[in-house]
Structure 1
Amino acid sequence: MDELKEPVSPTGQYLNSSALSLSLLCFLESEIPIDDSQTTSLLKDVFLPINSRFSSIMVVDENGEKQWKRVEVRLEDHVNVPIFPAGLSPESYDNYLDEYISKIGMEAFAKSRPLWEIHIFKYPTTTAAGVLIFKLHHSLGDGFSLMGALLSCLQRADDPSLPLTFPSVRLLSNNTSLMKILPKIFSVVFNTVSDFCWSVRKSTVLEDDKTPIRSGDDGVEFRPISMATMGFSLDHIKQIKANLGATLNDVITGAIFLGSRLYMQEKSKESSKAQSTALVLLNTRIFRSYESVEDMVKPNAKTRWGNHFAFLHVAMPPLAEASSTNPLEFVFRAQQIINVKKNSLAVFLTGQLLKILKKLRGPEAVAKYIHNTLKNSSMGITNLIGPIEKLSLANHPIRGLYFTVLGAPQSICIAIVSYMGELRVAVGAEKDFIDAKKLKSYIEKAFQMIFKAACQKTDQQPKE
């Protein structure tokens, strides 16, 4: 094969460096036992053609610049089928799956092969008849790109000839008049300056407190993780949204914050008021719906393949005594904080800062800056939009879909994706430090507290 090369994007260089290496684990839960006889043909005919990066390794050229270099792909090197004792209970296989996830999560990609793997867990768990796991390095693309690629391999289970549809996303209007914009200018300037300065401090010298959800240890990204997942009805979330005048992000962020604080309080009462920050991942594309992969990789594509994201620092509200009886405060506080962040150009300024840092000191310095940004916060939160309809892969109906991020120097990563009317929340936590299942139970409890309080709030409103 000829040596076809393309430059690695700046963000791709940051995410695969000596200072930082992030990967994604994407899980597809099959309704039926997995038949892997079609694996090779599907990878060769469907997966590899999606993007040349799936057939490339990252190399450094004679000028010291990182490039994607096309290579021959030995598919057998990328497919893993673990063997465990047969005839055990689903609960036992849950434990085996958790241990296996920890194992592959700590394994680095071989530099001599393209940066992806597939793991086929062919044992029944309490949630699936088998689990297909995609491990993809984050330098290949962001969650939006990789989700688009994954969806291009799948079909609607009810009718493969029909296109997938997604929950509607409220877009910003472009019809705002100048008279409406002018009063907000001073607010935007003030919020931008304060938010940007705080963000720089959080990325350099200002660390979150050490708490039951943040060990703050060096090298935490190299430790094993424990996974726990939970599902929330989108109908219930929409009901809370309507009752409170909030957004989906406000509701789920409020539940995560309240649940985390309740978990922290049980472990250490003082930590319920500790300085804790969530780093929320933002998709910076203008358009929020998935294009086809063919459209995404065109030179002038609107969404563009690659990494298009930014971080948003969101301080977790403290757990005051009153918060336990008024859980809606966490939704309102999340809404207030996020609205202030939205009314700011700090994300844009941070992007410019990274460009200047790259120009002056190189991509490794930027990677170190991003590493410190992650390390100084308590958790990462990222979310994606998934399809409304049930998916199918090679005639295997997919009953569940979730993902997590590996390699972040944080004790907790929370990843959220919608699928078939449910919001699936996955908690990836530092093993032997955080009890992922207990944290899950507190987040579920927090959501029920918020749902109950939101419904009572509506019932208590005076009728006209």
Structure 2
Amino acid sequence: MAQHPRFCSLLVRDENGFESWRRTRLNIDQHVIVFNNRLDRSGKFIDGTETQGRSFNEGDDDEVAVNQYVADLSVSSPLSTDKPLWELHLLTAHKCAVFRIHHALGDGISLMSILMASCRKASDENALPMMLPEKTRESKGEKRKGMFWFLGALWEFSKIAWFTLVFVMEFILRGFLVSDRKTVISGGDGVELWPRKMVTATFLLEDMKEVKKAIPNATINDVLFGVVSSGLSRYLDHRSPNAMDEGRRMTGVAMVNLRSKPGLQEISKLMKDNSEARWGNRFGVILLPVFYDKAGNDPLKYLKRAKTMVDRKKSSLEAYFSYRIGDLLMTLLGSKYACLLNYRLLCNTTFTISNLMGPLEEITLAGNPISSIKVTTSSLPQAITMHMLSYAGRAEMQILVAKDIIPDPEILAKCFEDALLEMKMAAIAGQ
């Protein structure tokens, strides 16, 4: 991080208000913040004398305390522009490191790639972590030839054109005019400043792989979106079973990596200006609708519906359009108007979701074994954001909520976990 130009630069504005990066000398003491006291379950530091004679259930208390610390950090003081826009908080009593990094420095792929370049395999201190992207589709055999190939290509082109037109129009309307109908989990303008609470939903990758076998050509992302659809319906049944209309739509904003090579990248390639991988924010967004549905006899219906919708999104250029329109606004009008478009889109939708693939096996950072890696974002006007990251056979989803709107996120996390287990049982029963 200390060698990367973006992590050693100040964000400055000239007399006309134009922003640019200016290299500066890095003072590590300004960025590394060490806390030796323990946190209580509300995320507040405990004085050393108060911990004497007290017993802690370290596994549970550590996760709850650190989650609340990060949740409070997300709505407390912003990163200072007097120094490069990143901090490292070391919570020594909890054996935890919290990287606080402004999104202007890079997207999830960039930041996770630089973190992995700093880590090594636990089994080999000289080897970098191994991260392989999931194969999105199985081979379909030899290409069709002649007239059949032409008709197939024409059909694929027609689908791309149609779905792109439909979804791009929807994206534009969502950005300026159309908003989700209000539910008990809806956010809105100003909610980004409300107090937050964070919990973790934990899944086994083996369970998700077992579920995706139930539907041909399904992916882990399909399973994740199916779990979210089922979990949100379960939670709304819990909060307001008589106030919700069947089929009520809640729209999610999902991030899509637009680099030509999927998954995490080699840092040497990311830092080259002419590389297609390129450092920075290289992602588009797609809108994923979730429909409130009463519990039924087929848990896999959520996966089937999710796969159908995600496949249609993959057949469109919505993600590329969203990136290009944001890039165009940034170039012509500046960051203020590009941010305004993003803000309006988030105000008109219900939640944000993302999924990153992490290391396949256990790793170390500076010789310290890592038991868990979690990621989240802040300053969004939605009442709920969900970010999942897989690590060594387990996937953990950080759920950050506005606690005045969603006071019981633990129940929401349990709804997601139960949804996956129910899908797994249905998938096994159907084999």
Distance (whole Å) between structure 1 residues aligned to residue 55 and residue 402 of structure 2? 27
Q: Which amino acid aligns with 1:220?
A: V
Q: Which residues in structure 2 correspond to 1:233-244 (within 5 Å)?
A: 233-244=204-215
Deviations 1:411-446 (A, max 9, x none): 111101111011221111112321211100111111
Change (3 A) 1:328 1:75: same
Deviation at 1:347, TM superposition (A): 2.7
Distance (whole Å) between structure 2 residues aligned to residue 155 and residue 355 of structure 1? 35
Q: Which residues in structure 2 correspond to 1:225-240 (within 5 Å)?
A: 225-240=196-211
Q: Which residues in structure 2 correspond to 1:285-434 (within 5 Å)?
A: 285-320=259-294, 323-358=295-330, 361-434=333-406
Equivalent pair of 1:317/1:333 in contact (CA under 8 Å) = no
Name the residue aligned to 1:161. 126
Deviates more, 1:160-169 or 1:203-212: 160-169
Deviates more, 1:195-204 or 1:136-145: 195-204
Name the residue aligned to 1:116. 86
Name the residue aligned to 2:257. 283
Q: Which amino acid aligns with 1:121?
A: L
Equivalent pair of 2:133/2:357 in contact (CA under 8 Å) = no
Distance (whole Å) between structure 2 residues aligned to residue 358 and residue 77 of structure 1? 30
Q: Which amino acid aligns with 2:96?
A: V
Give the secondary-structure state (helix, strand or coil) at the position aligned to 1:401.
coil
Equivalent pair of 2:114/2:267 in contact (CA under 8 Å) = yes
The answer to whether the aligner puts 1:101 opposite 2:70 as a matched pair is: yes
Equivalent pair of 2:386/2:398 in contact (CA under 8 Å) = yes
Q: Which amino acid aligns with 1:301?
A: S
Give the secondary-structure state (helix, strand or coil) at the position aligned to 2:170.
helix
Name the residue aligned to 1:170. 135
The answer to whether the aligner puts 1:454 opposite 2:423 as a matched pair is: no
Distance (whole Å) between structure 1 residues aligned to residue 195 and residue 114 of structure 2? 27
Change (3 A) 1:225 1:340: same
Give the secondary-structure state (helix, strand or coil) at the position aligned to 1:298.
coil
Distance (whole Å) between structure 1 residues aligned to residue 6 and residue 334 of structure 2? 23
The answer to whether the aligner puts 1:139 opposite 2:113 as a matched pair is: no
Deviation at 1:279, TM superposition (A): 0.7
The Cα RMSD (Å) is 2.1
Change (3 A) 1:96 1:242: closer
Change (3 A) 1:359 1:161: closer
Equivalent pair of 1:203/1:369 in contact (CA under 8 Å) = yes
Name the residue aligned to 1:186. 158
Structure 2 gaps of 5+ residues are: 38-44
Name the residue aligned to 1:127. none
Give the secondary-structure state (helix, strand or coil) at the position aligned to 2:213.
helix
Q: Which has the higher contact order (CA 8 A, sep 6+)?
A: 1
The answer to whether the aligner puts 1:436 opposite 2:413 as a matched pair is: no
Deviations 1:306-355 (A, max 9, x none): 110011101102213xx432111110111111111111123333334334
Deviations 1:170-226 (A, max 9, x none): 25789685442112222222211111111111111111122122133x211122221
Give the secondary-structure state (helix, strand or coil) at the position aligned to 1:406.
coil
Pick from 212, 224, 243 the counterpart of residue 252 of structure 1: 224
Change (3 A) 1:96 1:318: closer
Give the secondary-structure state (helix, strand or coil) at the position aligned to 1:327.
coil
Paired residues in the alignment total: 403
TM-score (normalizing by structure 2):
0.88
Give the % identical residues: 27
Deviations 1:252-308 (A, max 9, x none): 110111111110111112336432111111111110143321221022223111110
Give the secondary-structure state (helix, strand or coil) at the position aligned to 2:370.
strand
Deviation at 1:78, TM superposition (A): 1.4
Equivalent pair of 1:261/1:272 in contact (CA under 8 Å) = no
TM-score (normalizing by structure 1):
0.82
Q: Which amino acid aligns with 2:2?
A: L
Change (3 A) 1:355 1:402: closer
Deviation at 1:94, TM superposition (A): 4.5
Deviates more, 1:324-333 or 1:54-63: 54-63
Equivalent pair of 1:53/1:140 in contact (CA under 8 Å) = yes
Give the secondary-structure state (helix, strand or coil) at the position aligned to 2:276.
coil
Distance (whole Å) between structure 1 residues aligned to residue 402 and residue 391 of structure 2? 26
Deviation at 1:362, TM superposition (A): 3.3
Deviates more, 1:415-424 or 1:88-97: 88-97
Give the secondary-structure state (helix, strand or coil) at the position aligned to 1:383.
strand
The answer to whether the aligner puts 1:208 opposite 2:180 as a matched pair is: yes
Equivalent pair of 1:264/1:272 in contact (CA under 8 Å) = no
Q: Which amino acid aligns with 2:153?
A: I
Give the secondary-structure state (helix, strand or coil) at the position aligned to 2:397.
strand
Equivalent pair of 2:285/2:322 in contact (CA under 8 Å) = no
Deviation at 1:64, TM superposition (A): 4.2
Name the residue aligned to 1:72. 25
Deviation at 1:234, TM superposition (A): 1.4
Give the secondary-structure state (helix, strand or coil) at the position aligned to 1:59.
strand
Q: Which amino acid aligns with 2:204?
A: S
Deviation at 1:144, TM superposition (A): 0.2
Distance (whole Å) between structure 2 residues aligned to residue 88 and residue 293 of structure 1? 43
Equivalent pair of 2:359/2:392 in contact (CA under 8 Å) = yes
Deviation at 1:406, TM superposition (A): 0.8
Change (3 A) 1:102 1:68: same
Change (3 A) 1:81 1:88: farther
Structure 1 gaps of 5+ residues are: 1-46, 125-129, 459-464
Deviates more, 1:435-444 or 1:224-233: 224-233
Equivalent pair of 2:225/2:306 in contact (CA under 8 Å) = yes
